[in-house]
Amino acid sequence: MRPDSRAVHAGRELRARDPLAPPIVQAAVHVFDDLDDYVDVASGRVPGHVYGRNSNENTSTLAAAVAELEGAEAGVACASGMAAIVAGILALAPRPAPLVVTADAYGVTLAMLRGDLAPLGYEVREVDLHDLDAVARALPGAAAVLAETITNPLCRVTDLEAVCGLAGDRGVPVLVDNTFASPALCRPLELGAALVVHSATKYLGGHSDLVAGVVAGGAGPVGRARERVVRMGSSLGPFEAWLALRGLRTLHLRMRRHSENAFALAHGLVGLPGVVAVHYPLLEGSAGEPLARRLLPDGAGGMLAVDLAGGRAAVQAMLSELRMVRFAASLAGVETTISYPDITSHSALSPEERLARGITPGTVRVSAGLEDPRDLLEDFTRSISPRR
């Protein structure tokens, strides 16, 4: 099937008399009347489920659907995007070892690496993955590389082909956080990644009504990730999985509109009084445009960032004027929202670290929703440059 059809049908093969919509299997445990049958199911030799922490019909269907969309052999659903990242890392680096991570990674990812894995003996090597010479210098002895297709919050596109090529030549697997792009716009496994992770809370679910994560990739590393999810209790619940699968069915449609709206909004904000810079991968003339057009030919998604003159006071002034757009510490819903990295996604970093990454006191992250782009631009234009 072509990608649009896969989004609608991934994860399920309907038989006669099956419900068209998947039922919610809200069960913590399944019953058996044969000991050998239980052993076969529990070991994975035959299909089935024994206990909700191990698997469930809804979570398995979601994992299979995301794996299919990513072109992966297998997938596992997790309680959150961060749970997926931890499971993916431990699948690739089960013992303390150096980890190479993009320096402009999601702030909570950096905080987890520094605050949770480093004390256990992992060495965290923060590197600008856009500097391939720096990547090459950081790879010796590394157990894994952590990259993001589109970084949070400044929306820089990573040259995954080059990074995965360098790492692959040295036998180092690459884990890619594909949350901002989704499999509708990029499939990192085809570019050489070993694992791909998603915060399904975001574009996969798409409606700001669930928290979930997914790991997808080869059967071997995903199997190791699944073992950790089961042992550490970071499994996803059936209702959240059902919601995420429902959202996944319209992913291809939503990503087109998210991309169109973000592109239109980014264009409209360039040069606006009070706007110092606009960060969006496909802006003409931007440093990352050629790479973005090669890696993301179908659109760059709905995320952009804006730097306002005047710092935090200017951000608050804009927020006070916005009528339709609201502040929310998440992204990728149908409604357009803004977030302020200083106090949300990158609050664990020091002001100096944020500045070093290009995040200023005036940086606002924008998640372009599905509204009419003219309404969005009017709301931002009036709020950034109000007429008094």
* Strand (E) or helix (H) holding 195: strand 195-199
| 117 Cβ contact list (under 8 Å, min separation 6) | 89, 96, 99, 124
Neighbours of 382 (CB within 10 A): 14
Residue 85 has pLDDT above 80, yes or no: yes
Give the residue numbers annotated as catalytic, written as ranges.
53, 106, 177, 202
Instruction: List, for residues 57-84, the tens digit of each pLDDT value.
Output: 999 999 999 999 999 999 999 999 999 9
Residue 55 and residue 78: Cα distance in Å, rounded? 10
Question: How many angstroms separate the CA atoms of 237 and 55, rounded?
Answer: 9
Residue 100 · residue 157 · CB < 8 Å? no
Distance CA 307, CA 59 (A): 39
Stronger pLDDT, 265 or 288, i.e. the higher one:
265
> 241: which DSSP letter?
H
Mean model confidence pLDDT for the chain: 96
Say whether pLDDT at 388 is over 70.
no
Q: pLDDT band for 160, please (50, 70, 90 cuts).
A: very high
| pLDDT at 1 > cutoff 80 | yes
Q: Helix or strand or coil: residue 102?
A: strand
269: pLDDT strictly greater than 50: yes
Domains of the chain from N-terminus onward: 3-248 (3.40.640.10), 251-384 (3.90.1150.10)
Q: What is the pTM of this model?
A: 0.95
Yes or no: say if 194 and 217 are a contact pair by the CB < 8 Å rule: yes
Q: Is residue 3 over pLDDT 90? A: no
- What is the strand order of the sheet 123-127 is part of? 74-78, 213-217, 195-199, 174-177, 144-148, 98-102, 123-127
Q: What is the 3-state secondary structure (H, E, C) of 27-59?
A: CCECCCCCHHHHHHHHHCCCCCCCECCCCCHHH
Q: Are 328 and 337 in contact (CB under 8 A)?
A: yes
